[in-house]
Chains A and B, each alone.
Chain A
């Protein structure tokens, strides 16, 4: 497969009239990275992906791939390929012809392009289905075909627009592992748009969390999760409680949030208790109606179980607290 190249976005901006969808993004994605663009709907992640792909005009800024400025190149000449949300397979073409489509457009003869397409169908374990039409495939199978179709041009970067959102939860976890395996094997960059933080954490080497057209925080999943920069990051990544303190807002991981029976410096009362296996999820509410979640190990909870309505005090170790910007 091809030589991977690094991608750089420089002050990338997209405006729709007065609305700024993507607001001056700077981002470097090293070659061979699994990058997840993460954020709530409307945060500009899909627009960013589409600008990288060349399906969306850039208002300002540049897209650099390796040494080349590809900002104004058509999609097929960038060295990127896109896998569309809900796959966009051609309904009138067989699986094999779908995969071979890009080569047909380049005028590659039938035998060569079909051989190449078969090799890619092998890669995604879809060879037995080559003669079928897309409508005769399940969602997971369609996705594999879409992957093979995107990979046939040997892109340096594969762009995936919410690739797992159309699948049921079981298949989603399975395909997630497969995407990661494929990315490792091919050694090319995957840029994967998702609104699921769990998906991003499971897959990404680099998580780019976006909000309101800007990058809120980027880094490895571990860095982003353990050191959220802002309240938005802490809340979006989940697993954190945000507390007001004299020194400003801080974030504390839910599993490092402790509850002690009786009144204390941070009083609250227990609202709900959910048993989740290794942890018991205890939701407590303070006097100002703010809810916090404490994930208490099963054994610790069993030693002194709470009842809903019990008065508790919230506490954490000093090193568990992260100041938020």
Chain B
């Protein structure tokens, strides 16, 4: 290497350094610590820095012996996966529709920007307030129940509206649909409008164009949005806790409970398992579409 190429390499490294340092300090090192601690031993009041798999084995205690019945751990993961799937499904359905409307039916850029901003309104208040705001609507004496009773559609208030799986999914969908809208909209806006005309010229109906042209070309946005939504829902325990009336377990809640009990190695082990599960889902999704190509 000549001195000038070395200098150029140095400049390139220097340019990448700030981001790399931030990444190292706030992501790689903490993650490495979590993985390390997950393999430490512990007793009731302290962690012991010697290698041990107890954090993992005790979390999954009885999972093999009890089969075919699911242990608490598997049940909790099943519950979390079910929420992830339901929320993913509804945010995708709603997000795709909203993005499609914005990209193809709203022709003026001003309206597109205006309506996109409208989608961000849920983010103007804090997460907690947005959740609490459901209570007057969905509670036993809430607006929905009063209306239903008032119209004599039901005899007594419907119980499953709040503190139920329904309310958890509803709140999560409400919170995260926007994370689906943005990447899908971004993919759709890049679709050449002449392709739609070309499809029409070839005799495609509206649905055929949607299925054969728009959906395949929106795939990168769909996958990116799905990654956002699935990772958030997999790790969420606040929304599940509040909207589930603290009665529904979640993978994130397990970590939190162990943290509260100062059982750091078990908490870390659970966090690593949750991370692995989430990474597996993302890996499966990126197998379907090469996202890097589209960025």
Contacts and interface: CB of A to CB of B under 8 A. Distances in A.
A104 B202 CA distance: 9
A55 B195 contact: no
Contacts of B195: 88, 90-91
A53 B201 contact: yes
B146 to A, nearest CB: 50
Interface string A65-89: 0000000001111000110111011
How big is chain A's contact interface, by range? 20 to 34
A102 interface: yes
A225 interface: no
A77 B204 CA distance: 11
A85 B193 CA distance: 12
B198 A84 contact: yes
Q: By DSSP majority rule, is chain B's interface helix, strand, loop, or mixed?
A: helix
Contacts, number: 59
Contacts of A81: 201
Contacts of B202: 76, 101-102, 105, 149, 153
A111 interface: no
A139 B195 CA distance: 17
A303 interface: no
Contact of B217 (A55, A82, A92, A106): A92
Contacts of A150: 201
Interface stretch (B23-31, B208-216, B261-269): B208-216
A92 B208 contact: no
Interface in A144-178: 149-150, 153
B203 A82 contact: no
Contacts of A75: 200-201, 203
A90 B203 contact: no
A88 B198 contact: yes
Nearest to B215: A92
A106 B208 CA distance: 10
24 contacts: A55-B197, A55-B200, A75-B201, A76-B202, A76-B203, A76-B204, A77-B203, A81-B201, A82-B198, A82-B201, A84-B197, A84-B201, A85-B194, A88-B195, A90-B195, A90-B198, A90-B213, A101-B202, A104-B212, A105-B199, A105-B212, A149-B202, A150-B201, A153-B202
Interface of B: 192, 194-195, 197-205, 208, 212-213, 216-217
